[in-house]
Each structure stands twice: as structure tokens, then as C-alpha cells.
């Protein structure tokens, strides 16, 4: 049963999840990456047999696979995905940035150009759940940014979905890929997929950046290849924090908390309220709703190990705790939520009002659902169009301008003991 904590007991409880991998996981992933680096497709074939039970003849699906898949998926669900894609596009289009040129000043021209990343790989999980929503959230911003080639890697499966001649990929994943503007699909999963995208193999092209969620092995692989390629973030277990007053509906709160807990046993749901009565009603409601969930075992372990209800004296105190913990998802179930928005400093995505559950953000509303976890919202942001572009500054000085600035630059270089730096200016001032 979920624990109820009073404010003065909070410091005794650890309610922040860690993204750190175990030593065994780190070692296993390092070996997988090294093997894929040196043996390429042969290593991928072996790992696919070992982990997925498949013997692929090729990893890339035919270009027609997405077209075939979108015809095989329930047309009504295709329409749902298309409407969600429109909302995601509408929101992310506002993030598109253009370069700028500062007005010329005394022979100095400064500016910044924005250039799309050329090739991006998005990892889309399979296994216990298929996530076409992750295809839309990862690939639509990349398309809007102008990425030349968008690739997805997703584990093969023999359980339903669209099958090509040797590999199985769920049709909903492929249909979402078609809607999102994906060019190529590879049926590869796990840390070996991340290694293939980062270093390239005989059949998998090397990408410039990798995005997308995954299990602890995928996350650790992204951590280890960072620097060879870019990544979106190191994502830990999913979490939600809810700030609610006594008038909030305990049935809704319990449902919202369990929507995160069913992700996995390490997921976390925390309610902060100024009402002990509400806290007790939510605890009872969670137990009632748990028994009806198909993923009850997963959700129950999450609730028992990582869930919490924190009872505070004031709602202002609730926001202090929230800002300290920096949740991935923050629901504000208050009668006047917009009056509190300036109090929020650290959160991945915020859901305002009693009729705005976080689930809207997972699938449909438009803002991205790839969010900073484990308190990293203190210094990082949701996935956006910005993640798929590079910003390059440029500088031009005329001869007259460098003469005007030269003495200052030389002084700076000399103070740092970098004589060659100073000479690169001094020689120009001497006209040599």
C-alpha cells in the first residue's frame, strides 16, 4: 500500500529515482558495443537470435513496408494518429528558429546560422508494449527541423503486427513512421541497436544523433556512445507528481498516479496535498483501482516501492517540494491553476487543471512526451525541434575593426600566457 508522509518526515524518504546503471549492466553494454563495433552485422545477427529469438536475413525493412502497414492498421486508429500528429506539428512548429545577423557596427559583422542535423536515429521500444506515440513525438520535431534522413530502430517481434519476409515489426509502429515522415526502418533492438546507429555496420548507416526511450540497457548504451554521436537525454524511470487540494477528485488522482505506475516497476507517482482526508481517500482508491488493471503486478510494485503521498501544511509548501524534486510530469489539480504557474521553476511538462490528466500529453495534446526524468528538469528540457539542429556563430572583422580591437585582444591573450594568440593579432596590426 502506498505510504503517506508528513512534511517533517520527508527528508527521511528517498523519493528521487536514479538513472545510474548497475555495474553488471554497464559491463554487459560495453561488451555489446565493442562487439558491434568490430564485427558489425555478424554481431547484430547473433544478438538478435539471443535476445529476440529471430534469425534475420536483413535488418532494414523494404521501403514499401510503411505503406503496407498503414493499410493494415484499423483505419479509425490511423485517423487518431493523424490527429495527434497534427497537434504535435502545430505545437512544435512554433519552436522553429532562424539564424540572425546583428546590424553591422564599425566593420564588424556577427551572426548565427541554424543547420539541421543530417541523419537522426530514433529508438522505438518493443517488448511488453508497442509505442507508436514515441514515433510521432521523436520524429515529427526532426522532420520540422529539416533533418535529411530520419531512421527508426525497433525490436523485431513474432507476435502479430506487420511482418516482412523475415522480420516482424508491429504495424502500428510502421504506420506511425509513415505519418511522421520516417525514411528508413531497421528491425533491431536493445543496446546492439544503439551501437549500430552510433558506429554503423555493413547494413546500418551511422547517424549523427540518437533519440528515443528504452530499457536500462538501451539507456546505458546511449550514455556510453555519447560523444561519438549526440543523444537526446539519459532518461530514467517515468515519474509524475500531483499537487492537489481537498476539492480534487480522489478517483481521478488515483487513476493519474497509476497511469505512470503501469509503465514499469521503477516508475514513480507522488501526490502532494494539504488535506489528510484527501490523502487517505486516494490511498483507498489506488488499492481499488489496482485490482482492475491488466498490468496490476507491475503497477503494484511501483506503488509499494516508489509511490508516496506527502501531506503539507500549505499549497505553497507543495510547490517548494515540487521545485526541489523537479518532476518529469507535474499535474496541478487546483481550482485556479494559472495563479500558481509562476511558482513552477523545475518540471518537464505541466498539466493545469482538474480535467487535464498527464495522459493527454502522452499521446495527443501536442507538447512532447520525451521529458527529463529523475530530477534532471532542474537543468534540461523536453525534446524539441532544437534537438535536431546545430547553431553555428560567425564573425567578420574588417582591417579597420581588428585594428580598433587589437590592443584589447592582445592584452587578454598575454594575461592568459598565450603568446601565439597575441601574435595572431599583432602581426596583422603590423601589416604582415
Distance CA(364)–CA(352), nearest Å, equals 15
pLDDT at 126: 81
pLDDT at 22: 82
For residue 406, pLDDT over 50 is answered with: yes
Identify the weakest region by mean pLDDT among 157-161, 253-257, 284-288, 399-403: 157-161
In this structure, the strands spanning 389-397 and 108-116 are antiparallel
Average pLDDT over residues 213-242: 95
In this structure, the strands spanning 349-352 and 108-116 are unpaired
Average pLDDT over residues 204-223: 96
Q: What residue has cell string 506511425?
A: 176
Average pLDDT over residues 151-173: 70
Average pLDDT over residues 337-342: 95
For the chain, give the number of residues.
432
pLDDT at 382: 97
pLDDT at 63: 87
pLDDT at 88: 98
Torsion of CA 167, 173, 175, 179, to 10 degrees: -130
Average pLDDT over residues 89-107: 97
Q: Among residues 252, 306, 329, 369, which one is catalytic?
A: 329
Distance CA(378)–CA(175), nearest Å, equals 35
Q: How does the average pLDDT of the chain come out, rounded? A: 93
Average pLDDT over residues 157-181: 72
pLDDT at 130: 82
How confident is the model over 40-88, as pLDDT tens digits?
999 999 999 999 888 777 899 998 999 999 999 999 999 999 999 999 9
What's the grid cell of residue 2?
Answer: 502506498
pLDDT at 168: 78
Cβ atoms of 223 and 215 closer than 8 Å: no
What's the grid cell of residue 228?
Answer: 561519438
Distance CA(329)–CA(374), nearest Å, equals 11
Percent of the chain with pLDDT over 70: 94
pLDDT at 115: 98
**CA-wise closest residue to 85 among 148, 147, 133, 152:** 133
Cβ neighbour number for residue 205 with a 10 Å cutoff: 15
pLDDT at 163: 41
How confident is the model over 413-426, as pLDDT tens digits?
999 999 999 999 99
Judge whether 329 counts as a catalytic residue. Answer: yes
What interhelical angle do 296-306 and 276-290 show, nearest 10? 150
Domains in the chain and their CATH numbers? 3-19+237-366 (3.40.50.1980), 23-231 (3.40.50.1980), 398-429 (no CATH)
For residue 360, pLDDT over 80 is answered with: yes
Identify the weakest region by mean pLDDT among 7-21, 264-278, 296-310, 409-423: 7-21
For residue 204, pLDDT over 80 is answered with: yes
pLDDT at 162: 40
pTM of the model: 0.92
Q: Among residues 285, 328, 331, 358, which one is catalytic?
A: 328
Judge whether 421 counts as a catalytic residue. Answer: no
Amino acid at each position: 500500500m502506498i505510504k503517506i508522509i508528513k512534511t517533517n518526515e520527508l527528508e527521511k524518504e528517498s523519493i528521487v529515482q536514479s538513472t545510474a546503471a548497475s555495474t553488471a549492466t554497464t559491463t554487459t553494454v560495453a561488451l555489446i558495443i565493442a562487439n558491434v563495433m568490430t564485427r558489425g552485422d555478424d554481431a547484430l545477427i547473433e544478438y538478435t537470435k539471443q535476445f529476440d529469438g529471430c534469425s534475420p536475413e536483413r535488418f532494414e525493412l523494404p521501403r514499401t513496408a510503411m505503406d503496407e502497414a498503414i493499410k493494415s492498421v484499423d483505419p479509425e486508429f490511423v485517423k487518431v494518429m493523424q490527429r495527434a500528429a497534427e497537434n504535435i506539428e502545430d505545437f512544435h512548429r512554433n519552436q522553429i528558429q532562424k539564424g540572425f545577423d546583428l546590424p553591422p557596427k564599425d566593420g564588424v559583422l556577427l551572426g548565427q546560422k541554424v543547420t539541421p542535423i543530417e541523419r537522426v536515429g530514433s529508438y522505438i521500444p518493443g517488448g511488453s508494449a508497442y509505442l507508436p506515440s514515441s514515433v510521432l513525438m521523436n520524429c515529427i520535431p526532426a522532420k520540422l527541423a529539416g533533418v535529411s534522413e530520419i531512421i527508426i530502430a525497433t525490436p523485431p517481434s513474432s507476435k502479430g503486427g506487420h511482418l516482412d519476409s523475415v522480420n516482424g515489426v508491429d504495424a502500428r509502429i510502421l504506420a506511425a513512421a509513415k505519418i511522421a515522415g520516417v525514411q528508413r526502418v531497421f528491425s533491431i533492438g536493445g543496446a546492439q541497436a544503439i551501437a549500430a546507429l552510433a558506429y554503423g555496420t555493413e547494413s546500418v548507416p551511422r547517424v549523427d544523433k540518437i533519440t528515443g526511450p528504452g530499457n536500462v540497457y538501451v539507456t546505458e548504451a546511449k550514455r556510453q556512445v555519447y560523444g561519438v554521436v549526440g543523444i537526446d537525454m539519459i532518461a530514467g524511470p517515468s515519474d509524475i507528481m500531483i499537487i492537489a487540494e481537498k476539492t480534487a477528485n480522489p478517483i481521478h488522482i488515483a487513476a493519474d498516479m497509476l497511469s505512470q505506475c503501469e509503465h514499469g516497476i521503477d516508475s514513480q507517482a507522488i501526490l502532494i496535498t494539504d488535506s489528510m482526508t484527501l490523502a487517505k481517500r486516494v490511498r483507498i482508491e489506488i488499492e481499488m483501482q489496482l485490482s482492475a488493471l491488466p498490468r496490476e503486478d507491475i503497477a503494484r510494485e511501483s506503488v509499494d516501492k516508489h509511490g508516496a503521498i506527502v501531506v503539507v501544511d500549505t499549497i505553497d509548501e507543495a510547490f517548494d517540494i515540487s521545485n526541489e524534486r523537479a518532476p518529469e510530469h507535474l499535474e496541478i489539480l487546483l481550482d485556479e491553476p494559472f495563479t500558481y504557474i509562476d511558482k513552477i521553476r523545475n518540471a518537464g511538462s505541466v498539466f493545469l487543471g482538474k480535467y487535464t490528466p498527464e495522459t493527454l500529453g502522452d499521446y495527443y495534446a501536442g507538447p512532447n512526451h520525451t521529458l527529463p526524468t529523475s530530477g534532471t528538469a532542474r537543468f534540461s528540457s523536453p525534446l524539441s525541434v532544437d534537438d535536431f539542429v546545430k547553431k553555428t556563430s560567425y564573425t567578420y572583422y574588417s582591417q579597420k575593426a581588428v585594428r580598433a580591437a587589437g590592443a584589447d585582444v592582445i592584452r587578454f591573450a598575454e594575461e592568459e600566457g598565450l603568446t601565439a594568440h597575441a601574435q595572431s593579432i599583432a602581426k596583422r596590426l603590423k601589416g604582415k
